[in-house]
Structure 1
Amino acid sequence: MALCGCDQPTQASQADGFDFFVLALSWSPSYCEAEGERANRQQCDSARPYHFIVHGLWPQFEDGYPEFCDANVLRTETRLESRMLDIMPSRGLIRHQWKKHGTCSGLSQDTYFDKVRAARERVTIPPIAPEAGQYRSVSPAEVERAFMQSNPGLGEDHIAVTCDRHRLREVRICMTADLEYRSCPQVDRRACNRRSIVMPPARGR
């Protein structure tokens, strides 16, 4: 199993429809710690203690995924970015996700980001955050079970946990276009295979 949790993009830049979405929820403290000085300051220097944030909502094929589907993509509108900052706390992240993934959804900017929010609201985050200032050791299976217990209908083949060498990085949940949970073998195959990983504590006050 690959530790990054990545799939390879398809050769075609245009998405002639797609098969499902992946909602990627990033454990923000891991991103901030791993990236250090390269981390996005809007997210990592905030006084707000971000926990799971939306990395993106990604159109997927059963094998591979489309990306950068519109060479003439328009920059995301400032008022739309402001509307999304509570769940995607970086304007750069919002812009990149629209350019790379949103343009492959066949949706307008407003409709795509409405879909992102609806997908996030579909998922209840379980109470697994570490105590303030403390690291928490968990297994990928433990994280999956916590999400499944908090989200009736979410099954083992609908979710994958990704990691780096020792940190929890993301929880990825597969959904239909109507945001129902669905199986996704290609995503599950690339889940973290470490026995134990850590969740760094949230920054901020």
Structure 2
Amino acid sequence: MHRSIIISRLLISLALIIVLAGTASAQDRRQNAPGEFDFYVLALSWSPSFCEAAAERGNSGRSQAQCSRPYSFVVHGLWPQYERGFPEYCQRPSPRLDRNIMTSMLDLMPAPGLIFNEWDKHGTCSGLSARAYFETTRKARAAVKIPEELLQLSEQKIIAPADLEEAFIKINPGLSSSAISVTCSSRRLSEVRVCLSKDMQFRACDEIDRRACRRDEVVMPPVRGG
């Protein structure tokens, strides 16, 4: 075989090894081991954005339970995280979620399907029982205050993500810009994500911040009946 071809193939093999090594380092060595994670992300979804998007997709019937009510921010989930990456579906099949536990969370997470999915995908990675995981979710939500002016937003609001973060920081002592991020879909606000230690203290999370919305402004549709 010609020497230049051999050298080319060796270089390609070396490049592939480097890529695979980088992928392995980005994947936490504890991947999907229940209870083995670094911190939580509390994801708060702006319900009016979700409902507008559902109506545009023709899925308003499936979201009726949530979108017929005047919700502002609702809990999307409490997600165990690594410093780089995150675990998911840590028990297959996941332990069956008791329906009584599901119904107890409907005031914070107003869709049964969402609650079941969050348990399967994220709750099983917490290392907690289902009841303890959702109790922790409730504690996480209680740890984060929502700006009063957003709870009954009666008109569409256009806001810079940085200003939205600042509104949360202002009323949550100990919360800093390194522990909160805003995500968007199209032009609308999707979520506010807050990083919390296992003992429910605000903490920095660089990787979450890097996934934040890069728009100068986002639209917040009004709360239904707000």
Q: Same fold (TM over 0.5)?
A: yes
Corresponding residue for 1:126?
147
1:116 to 117, 121, 137: 137
SS at match of 1:85: coil
Describe the shift of the 1:193–1:19 C-alpha distance in structure 2 as closer, same or farther (beyond 3 A): same
Corresponding residue for 1:98?
119
Higher percent of residues as helix: 2
Corresponding residue for 1:17?
36
Using the alignment, how far apart are the partners of 1:53 and 1:102 within structure 2? 17
* Residue 163 of structure 1, CA deviation: 0.5
Corresponding residue for 1:201?
222
Corresponding residue for 1:3?
none
* Residue 13 of structure 1, CA deviation: 3.7
SS at match of 1:161: strand
SS at match of 1:38: coil
CA contact (8 A) 2:35 2:128 kept: no
Query: Partner letter of residue 183 of structure 1?
Result: A
2:210 to 162, 169, 189: 189
Corresponding residue for 2:159?
138
Considering Cα pairs closer than 8 Å and 6+ residues apart, tell me whether 1 or 2 has the greater RCO: 1
Q: For the aligned residues, what is the CA RMSD? A: 1.8
Q: How does 1:33-182 map to 2 (within 5 A)?
A: 33-36=52-55, 37-39=58-60, 40-44=63-67, 46=68, 48-129=69-150, 131-132=153-154, 134-182=155-203
**What is the aligned length?**
195
Corresponding residue for 1:27?
46
CA contact (8 A) 1:9 1:66 kept: no
**Structure 2: where are the runs of 5+ without partners?**
1-25
Could you give the per-residue CA deviations for residues 37-68 of structure 1, whole angstroms, max 9, x where no partner exists? 32522111x2x300000000000001100000
Could you give the per-residue CA deviations for residues 81-123 of structure 1, whole angstroms, max 9, x where no partner exists? 1111111001111000000000000000000000000000001
User: TM-score normalized by structure 2?
Assistant: 0.81
Corresponding residue for 1:5?
none
Using the alignment, how far apart are the partners of 2:36 and 2:159 within structure 1? 37
User: TM-score normalized by structure 1?
Assistant: 0.89
- The percent of aligned pairs where both chains have the same amino acid is 49
**Structure 1: where are the runs of 5+ without partners?**
1-7
